[in-house]
Each structure stands twice: as structure tokens, then as C-alpha cells.
Structure 1
């Protein structure tokens, strides 16, 4: 009769049949001596069941590892030596290479799964296989085996840092506050972020001051998988009709970040905006370069006092002249 089965299939069937026969010949005389618990099998047996899935955080500062486990069950009447193969194409794995499981017992093994910091976000698989290599002290490779898999999810992350360049200082009303920032981002997925300028006065108020006009271009950053770097320019026009000095700082915040309750000690633009100066000709009476120097804030009082003295002097001169005329008459 013609053989309808492929030769390799026949070889496997013969090989397994041979192993079973050899095993039964070797251990058969001992079967009657070994009391079998209810449900235990005479032939070697192994089953494996693993935790379905785990998540790994690979963002900067994280451990980039996860601990998971698998349960092995020996449902035979023999103590078994079991070899383990734990493998993943994209992740690093660590776990025992072999274990011994008593007859009718279960054993839980721990597996550590690790990923690189730049591991792309997504779902991965870890394959775990178990094979009985000996039962009751008799080598039986290939007689009993089982396998399971663990789903591993690499979580998405995007982190960005920015550094503010030089700018600010003391300006007159109507001038522009101008500065730039450099941005560096790290990410394991395609994402976007944006930055905005916020002004905080010296009292801690973060309400946008009246008359200040943010003329900055949009600072939108496109972040590919692996990260990127970028630069943004900021320009804030101060009001020309400022009544009193405004003092505080400008901070730049990533979208969603909380506004500080006061000016930070670093990575800010410190500014002081003073009202436009009042002058006579080329003489500056108020403002940054006024003749009153550090007393420029008291300039109106000083000017008023001088004006009163001049008026009194003029009145005194007029009264004196009038008296002279009366005496001459």
C-alpha cells in the first residue's frame, strides 16, 4: 500500500512512539510501586500558563524593565526535569533555564523583560516554551512540551527641555522684549508640543499685563520618533503709554505646564519697563538716562518743587520792581 504521509511526519510519529515504548519499558516495573494520585498521568506531561501582558515605561529615569511570571504544572506521576526557553525578537529577557517539578505539583517562575530607552512605542511578544527532558530520572527529550506567550506594551513618552537665551533688562515703554529659546526633545513616538510666553510681575501675578502685545511667532515643535531639537523666537511689544513702571519676568512654558507663582531664579527673562521719559530738548528729565539718575522715580516731585520755586522767584521779582516804581514816583 502506498504511504500517503510525508516522510518527516512519519519519522516524528515513529520517533515519539519509540520514546513512549522505551519509557514504558524502563519505568513499567516501577509503575506498580508508585502510588498515583487521582488524575495523574502515567506518561510525562507539562503545561505552562503565563501572565497575559505587562507594560514597560522606557522614559528617561525609568527602570525600563517589568517583572512577570509563568506557572508550570506537572500532571504526571513522575518528578520531571523541564528545560525553558524564553525569547523575544525585540526585547531582552531573563529567567531560569531549567527547573525540577515534583509529580502532580505546580511551580511559578519569574521572568524579567527589559527594553532600550529608545524602544519604539508599541506591542511586542515574549515566547516561553517548556520541554520535559527527563521523568523519573529517565531522559525523554521531545515527549512532552508546551508553550505560551506574554504581550509586552512599550508605553509612549515625550520629554522636552528648553533653555532661554539672553534678553530683557531695563527698557523704556514702547520698546520690544526680545529673546530666543533652544529646545531639546526625546521621544519614542511621533508627537508635537508647543511653547508660550507668560509674564509674571514682582508681586507674583501671572495675569497678562494690559497693553503688552505678544507678537511672537507660533512655537510649535514636531517631534519624530527618536527626538529632535529646535529654536523659537519671542517678541513682546511693551505699551508706549505706560503710566507706571512694570517689573517682573517672562517665562516660557510648554503646553499644559503650570504657571509659577513667582519668578523662578533661573531660565527666565528679567525685565523692568519704565514709562517714557520727559525731557526739555536734549535734556532727559525722567527715564533710564535722566539727569536725576537713581532719583528718576521722584523726578515729577523734584520738577514740581523747582517750578514752585521759580514761580515764587518770578513773583518776588515782580513785587520788587513794583515797589521801586512806587518809590521813584
Structure 2
């Protein structure tokens, strides 16, 4: 059997340092020693441990949702290199046969960079013969309680082959949710909130956002986030001195309140606060924590625009700001943080009060 003593993590190109720092910190906390390989603008990071058991410890003890900058993680064997252009299948099949007795599904992927995206067509074509080969040997059993097989081509002639646990990994191809917001969306930012709702509100807490609820969108102009909520039957108070797009107002679910997002407070508590204002991360964290602590909103989804340096440190500082404010109210809450596909130099947070 091939030893899978490394962890491959997909991330946004340009955030390899943050992804590497995060997995190193978690490994240290779990008592796992290792080192990281990370090259800028590649879209992937490799954490190398001494043993396969150490990688298994990380992927079993650490919930994948706790990772901020990783889109996906895969427990992998050694890199397969120098595959001939006319026959990559032979080398991949040989590696796959040694990893697990069976697989629940197959994903042939590549890092999310402009250069690597040119391989996506090949990945699709390669999936078909690999699927046929595993079906022939009865190693592919859809729906079975078996690991997911990943083949990640990091170069045209080089690939990592490994597995992920479907119960503790991203469910999407390349770790990227496929979000469609429609041509009527007032702005590109609508995709960020649509993706956030898909990522943060899964089956267990989807009931926390439903038609008939009320929300406030701070810094709403031109209305992309308000529009997404309105599509779900949420009545939104959109707070901004700037204009709102006609598409947002045409929903008849949005009330435009001209004002400052930092000073506005609702007359009555709302179910949700959303915020995508361009401001320092700590100021946004303080604002949202205050809304939740004072009961102006029960839950919040918001973005933090990160500095060019010490991005991970800034996120941790904002986490502490929120924790200290809510601890003063002895308030129990859940905070999820993720750099979404639609995010750029930012991360998205979902802060939800726990039920009393």
C-alpha cells in the first residue's frame, strides 16, 4: 500500500501563505510535526508529515469547516511525475489501486489558477476512462460509505492521487460551490452572499433563513445582497446613502433607508444582519458584535476586507473582538469563517446565536 503521509490543500491563488500557516497551526495543536510546501500563485499547499497516521489524525480530529483558507483537503501519496502525454492512465491506475479497496466517487481536478484552468477539459476527458477502469475492477461503488477519490493534476505530467472523507471535506468539485444568481443581480457581490448561504446554512440550520423573516443590509448600495435575500422572501431594510439598483427595488421586498451603516439601528430586532462594507476589519467586527450583543439581530453574515500582510493574524484578531464582546453578555454563539470562491482580498463570516 502507498503511504498517504501528506495533506494536499486547495486554496485561492495568492493565499498559499495563509493556508499553509493555518494548517501548520492546527497540526501543532494536534501534536503533529511536519513541514509545508507552498509556492505563490499555485493555488495549492502540501503539508508533509512523517506518517500516514498523523495525517489521518488531522483529518479525523479537525473539522474541515474550521479551515478558513482551504477550499478542499485531500490525504495524498507521493507525487506521480513524468507521466507520458499519451498514457497518464496507467500510472494513475497503479497508484489508485493501492490507496483504498473501493471509492464512492471520483474527482479529477486541477488547481484554480488561470494556467491550470486550461487543464479542466483534459480532467473531464480523463475522468471517463478512469471511471470505466474502476467500475471494471468493482472499486467504484457510488453511494457506498467509502472515501472519495481525488486525482489532482498540478502539472500536465504530474498529479497527486489521494482520498477525502465525504463527511469531513468540501462536497463540491475542486472545493468550489457552483452558484447561479441570474442576470438580474444588481452587482457581482450578489454571488458572495448566495455562496455564503450555500456554505454556511446547510441541512442542519437551513431553517434559520426562511421567507417572512426580516433583515438589515448595512452599506447596501447598489443592492446585490439585499436582492439575494429578497429572492428568498426576506424583507430587507437596505441602509446606504448611495443609490439602490432598480432590480433590487423591483422585488418590492426592499426598503431603502438613506443613512450611515455604522450609526443605524433598527426600531425592532431583525432575524439577520448582512454587511459588505469596505472598512477596516476590526471596525466591522466591532459593529457586528455590537448588533448581536444588543439583540438588534439574531444572526449575521458579513465580510472582512483583509490587509495585504498578516491576513490570518487580522482574522484571528477580529475573532477575539467578537468573542470578548459576546462573552460580556454571556452569549453562546457559533462563528464560521471562510474565504469563499467569490471573495477576493476578504473572508466571509457567519455569526449565529445559539438557541437559549
For the aligned pair, the TM-score class normalised by the smaller chain equals under 0.3
Q: When the two structures are superposed, what TM-score results if normalisation uses the length of structure 1?
A: 0.19
Richer in strand (by share): 1
Q: When the two structures are superposed, what TM-score results if normalisation uses the length of structure 2?
A: 0.18
Richer in helix (by share): 2
- Structure index of larger Rg: 1
